[in-house]
C-alpha cells in the first residue's frame, strides 16, 4: 500500500509539548518513539534520555529521519533549515550529494529516487503536508480575508470574540464535512487512519471542526503550528517545532547519536525485544491503523516490553479503541492529565491514553 512505502509525514504533525508532559522523559530513560516525520524521536532528546529507539513500518519515514539527522549534524543551523525547506534554497540537490556518504544505505537509496522532493524541500514533501497545501488553497479561495484576519490576532480574548461572531459559520462547518469525508480521504489522501477502522457513525467533520474551534479558544492561531499547517499550508513562524529552532536544534545535534532507527511493524518489534526494554513509550496514533484485536496485541506487547513504572502516551484520532478489561490492571491511566492534554494539544484532534505500566508482580492484585 503506497501509504506505507512513500513519505506520509514530513514536518511535524503532533504537539511536542504534549508528549513531554505525558512522558516526563529524564536522564537514563530508554525511550521508544514512532518515527513519523522524525520530529517525535528528535524532540525526546531534549529531555536527555540515554537512548531513543525510533520505529516505523514505513521505510520512507525511517529514511527521512536519517536525512534530517545527517543534515543537522553536518550543516550549520541556517543551512540545515534551508536544506529541509524552512527557508528558500536553490542548492538542495548538491547538498544531498555532499551528505550522501554520511547517510545509511537505505536513506541514500531512498533519496536518490526522491531528488525532486529534496529539491523542493523535504519538510513539505509528505502526503499530509501536500494535502494541507491543497486544503489551504481551498481555504484561501473560500475565506482568504478571514484566514488572514485570524492569523493576525495577538490577543486571545479578541480572537475568541471574533471566532464566535465571524469565524464560526454553518456553511464553514459543511466545508469541513466535505473535506473530511471518508470518500474524499480514500480517493485523495489515501491515509487509512481516516477510514479503515473508524466507526461508521463517527462524524469526522464535526469532530475535527469542534477540535479546531475549541483550540481557537485556547491558543492564538499564529502560535499554533497545526492550524497554520492546515489553513496556510506551512508551519507557524511563531510556533516552530524545536528541531527547527536554533537553540533546541543544537541540543538535539549534540545527542543525535542516541537515536537508533528501526524499520518494522511496531507490534512485532515490541513482541521481540527483551522484556522491560523501554522506560518511555511514545506511540503516536498507531491505533488508527489497527483493528481491535491487533490493538489488544499491541497493548500486551507494550506491557511486556515496558520496564516497571514505564510511562506511555498513546494518541487516539478517529478510532476509539478501549483498553480491554484483562489489561486494565496493567495500564494505570491518568484521566486528569489525559483530559488536560486533549484540551491543550495544538494538534487539536487527539484524545489520549497516558499513564504508567504497572510492574508485572502487582498486576493481578490491582486488576
Ligand atoms: C501513527 S502515524 C500518525 C502520524 C502522526 N500524526 C505524526 O505526527 O507522525 C505515524 C507513523 O506511524 C507509522 N505506523 C502506522 N502503523 C504502524 C505500525 N503498525 N508499526 C509501525 N509504524 C506504524 C506510520 O507509517 C507513520 O509514519
pLDDT attached to residue 367: 44
Residues facing residue 306 across a β-bridge: 278
- Mark residue 274 as left, alpha or beta (left: phi above 0; alpha: psi -120 to 50; beta: remaining): beta
Question: Using a 6 Å CB cutoff, which residues line ligand 1?
Answer: 4, 8-9, 13-14, 34, 36-37, 55-58, 61, 265-267, 284-286, 289
Residue 316 pLDDT exceeds 70: yes
Residue ranges of domains in the chain: 2-125+242-366, 128-239
- CATH architecture observed for domain 2-125+242-366: 3-Layer(aba) Sandwich (3.40)
Which atom of ligand 1 is least distant from the CA of 58? 25
CA of 280 to the centre of ligand 1 (A): 17
pLDDT classification of 5: cutoffs 50, 70, 90: confident
Tens of pLDDT, residue by residue over 111-169, are: 999 999 999 999 999 999 998 999 899 999 999 999 999 999 999 999 999 999 999 98
Report the residue among 56, 65, 190, 269 best suited for mutation to probe ligand 1: largest number of ligand atoms under 8 A from its CB: 56
Q: Which triple of cell numbers denotes residue 103? A: 547517510
For the chain, the maximum distance between any two Cα atoms, rounded to a whole number of angstroms, is: 63
pLDDT score for 65: 98
Edge to edge, the sheet with strand 331-333 lists 259-263, 51-56, 30-34, 278-282, 306-316, 351-357, 331-333
Confidence at 321, pLDDT banded by 50, 70, 90: confident
Nearest CA to ligand 1 atom 25: 58
Residue in the structure block whose three cell numbers are 486533549 = 342
- Name which residue sits closest to atom 27 of ligand 1, judged by CA: 36
Split at pLDDT 50, 70, 90, the class of 199 is confident
Amino acid at each position: 500500500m503506497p501509504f506505507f512505502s512513500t513519505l506520509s509525514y514530513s514536518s511535524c504533525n503532533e504537539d511536542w509539548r504534549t508528549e513531554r508532559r505525558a512522558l516526563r522523559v529524564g536522564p537514563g530513560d530508554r525511550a521508544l518513539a514512532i518515527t513519523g516525520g522524525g520530529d517525535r524521536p528528535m524532540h525526546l532528546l531534549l529531555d536527555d534520555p540515554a537512548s531513543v529507539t525510533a520505529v516505523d513500518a514505513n521505510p520512507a519515514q525511517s529514511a527521512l529521519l536519517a536525512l534530517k539527522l545527517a543534515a543537522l549534524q553536518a550543516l550549520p543551523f541556517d543551512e540545515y533549515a534551508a536544506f529541509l525547506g524552512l527557508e528558500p534554497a536553490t542548492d538542495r540537490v548538491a547538498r544531498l550529494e555532499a551528505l550522501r556518504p554520511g547517510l545509511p544505505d537505505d536513506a541514500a537509496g531512498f533519496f536518490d529516487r526522491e531528488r525532486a522532493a529534496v529539491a523542493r524541500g523535504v519538510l513539505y514533501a509528505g502526503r499530509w503536508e501536500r494535502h494541507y497545501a491543497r486544503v489551504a488553497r481551498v481555504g484561501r479561495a473560500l475565506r482568504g480575508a478571514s484566514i488572514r484576519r485570524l492569523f493576525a490576532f495577538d490577543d486571545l480574548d479578541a480572537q475568541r470574540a471574533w471566532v464566535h461572531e465571524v469565524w464560526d459559520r454553518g456553511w464553514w462547518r459543511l466545508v469541513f464535512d466535505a473535506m473530511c469525508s471518508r470518500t474524499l480521504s480514500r480517493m485523495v489522501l489515501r491515509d487509512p487512519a481516516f477510514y479503515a477502522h473508524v466507526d461508521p457513525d463517527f462524524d469526522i467533520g464535526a469532530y475535527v471542526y469542534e477540535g479546531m474551534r475549541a483550540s481557537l479558544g485556547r491558543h492564538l492561531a499564529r502560535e499554533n503550528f497545526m492550524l497554520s499547517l492546515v489553513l496556510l499550508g506551512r508551519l507557524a513562524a511563531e510556533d516552530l517545532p524545536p528541531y527547527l529552532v536554533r537553540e533546541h536544534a543544537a541540543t538535539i545535534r549534540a545527542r543525535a547519536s542516541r537515536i537508533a532507527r528501526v524499520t518494522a511493524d511496531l507490534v512485532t518489534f515490541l513482541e521481540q525485544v527483551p522484556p522491560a526494554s523501554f522506560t518511555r513509550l511514545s506511540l503516536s496514533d498507531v491505533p488508527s491503523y489497527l483493528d481491535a484485536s491487533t490493538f489488544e496485541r499491541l497493548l500486551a506487547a507494550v506491557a511486556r516490553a515496558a520496564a516497571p513504572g514505564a510511562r506511555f502516551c498513546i494518541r487516539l484520532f478517529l478510532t476509539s479503541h478501549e483498553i480491554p478489561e484483562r489489561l486494565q490492571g496493567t495500564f494505570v491511566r491518568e484521566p486528569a492529565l489525559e483530559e488536560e492534554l486533549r484540551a491543550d494539544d495544538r494538534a487539536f484532534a487527539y484524545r489520549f491514553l497516558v499513564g504508567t505500566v504497572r510492574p508485572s508482580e502487582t498486576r493481578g492484585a490491582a486488576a
